[in-house]
Amino acid sequence: MSKKTRTILFLTCLFLFFVAAPSIILYSLGYRFDFENRQLTQTGGFGFKAKPKQVEIYIDGELAKKTDFLVGSALVENLLPRKYKIEVKKEGYLTWEKNLEIKEKEVIEIRNIILFPKNINFTTLTKGVKNFWFSPDDKKIILLEIEEDGETWALKLYDLERNIKSHLISEGDVNQNGANLLNLEFSEDSKEIYLDTKTAEISSNSMPEDQGKTFILRLDKLPVRLTEKEITTSSENIITSKKYNQDVYYLDNTGYVFKNELRVNEIAFPVKAEAEYTLEIFPDFIFLTTEDRTLYLFSPESNSFEIFFNGVNNLKISPGRKKLVFFSNSEVWVLFLKDEGVKKTGEKLFLVRLSEKIGDVFWLNSDYLVLNSGDNLKIVEIDERDRIQTWDIASTQRFDVERGVYFTGDSKKLYILSEENLFASEEIF
């Protein structure tokens, strides 16, 4: 090779280096040429975390990546700033999808994806059940069953950890002359249950008289012992009360709510004689529900209770205690109790409106809810980016549901009572 040829080759390589070097540097810094907008721009990406692991991620209909088999995460990089259709799929599971926009130098985190099974299998947990109550720790179920005589009832304890059912008490243990079980509640620590009953006592003229009594049944001591609970009230003026942590809140007949002995509202609430009211206490939020299911929230600004929601059926706090779901026969809403992402404390989020009556709503975790409406079990997400997604996960038509459903976060299973059979699902996530 002559000196002239070597010189030309060197200069050519040098020219190509100076031409290519800026492109290589820009590429390594995340710059791409946007042919649609005819400009050089920095890219962004999506960060995923999903259950189950090794799901497929599609971007605009094309497979972009799979999440790893260790923690179920994936990063899709070098995407031009614009809106993308994202689909997360796995065979046998319902698809998660959203349209999300990427901006320059931005990585959008999507860390709460759960794919739910298309077909959920149920098995019979136990038979002959008239009613059931779950303990707050989701580890025990109290079952109301009819005795072999076909007339009297008994309470059984189902231990979910050991998968064992045991007898607690019979109706005769409450009262030999018979007793109706009006209500059953667990203590907060799941160690006791409280039974509201109406018992038949024999009066002096040998005629039965109905008497309301409340009993305590301890579950952590053997043998179990039924004791009558003495009902005491600190004041005849108290309409309703609620204990929260170590504080006692109560509403009196003058329309004032007290926290221990300190008055909360300066403007009296218009209470009505013989009407029923309920107090619900959550971190920094005090709710009052009236007999017609109108929900009021205490406002520190006005020092009074203001209408918050009409037709409320229930309120339930999320795991982590940062969100509160409240719902009517047709609508589901979420209230943010603490700042979370772009949402500020006190903000509301409308989730869904359904044509068929909503039976009950449960938190799956802090990002998803499960509810029964008509003949379907539905899951609703909390993520409002793009549209809020709902999925039908099972039909309850074949169960002929009597009491709706119950979900336990401990076992991640759904429970359905139908025709005196208590069914349990497989784990749904």
What is the pLDDT averaged over residues 1-5?
64
Distance, CA of 187 to CA of 215 (rounded, Å): 12
pLDDT surpasses 80 at 90 = yes
What is the pLDDT averaged over residues 301-311?
97
User: Residue 424: what pLDDT?
Assistant: 94
**SS3 annotation, the chain:** CCHHHHHHHHHHHHHHHHHHHHHHHHHHCCEEEECCCCEEEECEEEEEEEECCCCEEEECCEEEEECCCCCCEEEEEEECCCEEEEEEECCCECCEEEEEECCCCCEEEEEEEECCECCCCEEEEEECEEEEEECCCCCEEEEEEECCCCCCEEEEEEECCCCEEEEEEEHHHHCCCCEEEEEEEECCCCCEEEEEEEEEEECCCCCEEEEEEEEEEECCCCCCCEEECCCCCCCCCEEEEEEECCEEEEEECCCCEEECCEECCCCCCCCCCCCCCEEEEECCEEEEECCCCEEEEEECCCCEEEEEEECCCEEEECCCCCEEEEECCCEEEEEECCCECCECCCCEEEEEECCCCEEEEEEEECCEEEEEECCEEEEEECCCCCCCCEEEEEECHHHCCCCCEEEECCCCEEEEEECCEEEEECCCC
Distance, CA of 45 to CA of 108 (rounded, Å): 6
Question: 72-76, 165-169, 211-215, 266-270 — which is least confidently predicted?
Answer: 211-215
pLDDT surpasses 50 at 29 = no
pLDDT surpasses 60 at 39 = no
Residue-wise pLDDT for 366-377, tens only, equals 999 999 998 889
Q: What are phi and psi of 397, to 5 degrees?
A: -60, -40
User: Residue 237: what pLDDT?
Assistant: 87
What is the pLDDT averaged over residues 21-41?
50
User: Residue 212: what pLDDT?
Assistant: 81
Distance, CA of 87 to CA of 29 (rounded, Å): 28
Neighbour-count burial for 39-49, b at 16+ CB within 10 Å, e otherwise: eebbbbbbebb
Q: Which CATH number fits domain 281-425: 3.40.30.10, 2.130.10.10, 2.30.110.10, 2.30.40.10?
A: 2.130.10.10
User: Residue 21: what pLDDT?
Assistant: 43
User: Residue 26: what pLDDT?
Assistant: 40
pLDDT surpasses 90 at 202 = no
Same fold, 43-114 and 281-425: no
> Across the chain, what does the average pLDDT equal?
87
**Hey, where are the domains in the chain?**
43-114, 131-228, 281-425
What is the pLDDT averaged over residues 55-80?
95
pLDDT surpasses 80 at 24 = no
Instruction: Categorize the per-residue pLDDT at 105 as very low, low, confident or very high, splitting at 50, 70 and 90.
Output: confident
Handedness of CA 277, 279, 280, 284 (dihedral sign): positive
User: Residue 9: what pLDDT?
Assistant: 61
In this structure, what token pair is assigned to residue 356?
A: 């068929």
pTM for this prediction:
0.84
User: Residue 4: what pLDDT?
Assistant: 62
Distance, CA of 385 to CA of 5 (rounded, Å): 62
User: Residue 229: what pLDDT?
Assistant: 78
In this structure, what token pair is assigned to residue 117?
A: 């099974």
pLDDT surpasses 80 at 85 = yes
Q: Cα 331 vs. chain centroid, distance in angstroms?
A: 15
pLDDT surpasses 80 at 233 = no
43-114 CATH fold = Immunoglobulin-like (2.60.40)
User: Residue 232: what pLDDT?
Assistant: 54
